[in-house]
Amino acid sequence: MKKLSSIILIITFTLSGINSQTDDLNQAKLIKGDLAPNWVLLYVPGKFEFLKNWTVERDKQLRKPSKQPDRHVVVITFFASWCPPCIEQLKPLENIFQKYKDVKVKFFIVDLTEATRNTSGFEDAPTTGPLLMKEGITIPILYDNRGWVAKNYEATSIPKLFVIDKFQIIREVRKGFNETEDLQGDLSKIIDQLVVEK
């Protein structure tokens, strides 16, 4: 059964009333070269993370340039605890996170578990924080509890991963996960190129 979940690659769900099949037909897709939508997401109760802390358009300033003046590459993956391919993707992502933790690259897991909990079949999904701790994952978790950021990023199928450059441009979009793909190698090549770009 685990192999079957890996072969399927993508788990599809409904977010904010948008059916993924309708979404595929009626909305323009975010693609490489597009400006990444801005977001503000909860990371602990009462505290928020901003995309603008790390990357903004070329002619704009970061949100708090006196405290954090350096632009970063940003890697985000949309995740839910009920999604087997999402969980399988985390080990290689954690390896990449550890490889680049001292470089100007920020990694975030955008958790959709609560946004999808009331969707049929996901009511008993485990809480993400303890699950990731048990799996040895230390990538920061951001909580998209209402699914608004997922909607803006058209993440109606997960896992869905984005690599955003230092000027807020999407440079890679990956939908689904397969254990046979070389996620570490592929992302390392992209990140190595982006961290040296001026």
Give all strands (DSSP E) within the chain, no chain letters. 11-12, 40-44, 47-50, 73-79, 105-111, 141-143, 157-158, 160-164, 170-175
Q: Which of 32, 31, 6, 30 is nearest to 190 (CA)?
A: 32
Q: Which of 121, 117, 147 is nearest to 17 (CA)?
A: 147
Q: Which of 78, 88, 105 is nearest to 181 (CA)?
A: 88
13 with 156: CB under 8 angstroms?
yes
Cα 77 from Cα 189, distance rounded (Å): 18
Give per-residue pLDDT as tens, 119-150: 878 999 999 999 999 999 999 999 999 999 99
pTM of the predicted structure, to 2 decimals: 0.87
What are the CA-CA distances from residue 70 to residues 37, 137, 170, 187, 198 (Å)?
Answer: 20, 26, 18, 21, 12
Cα 13 from Cα 158, distance rounded (Å): 8
Q: Which domains does the chain have, with CATH numbers?
A: 14-171+180-196 (3.40.30.10)
Residue 152: the pLDDT is 97
Confidence label for 3 from pLDDT (cuts 50, 70 and 90): very low
Q: What is the dihedral of CA 163, 58, 42, 105, to 10 degrees?
A: 50
First to last CA, the chain: 46
Confidence label for 28 from pLDDT (cuts 50, 70 and 90): low
Residue 22: the pLDDT is 32
Cα 72 from Cα 164, distance rounded (Å): 9
Confidence label for 10 from pLDDT (cuts 50, 70 and 90): very low
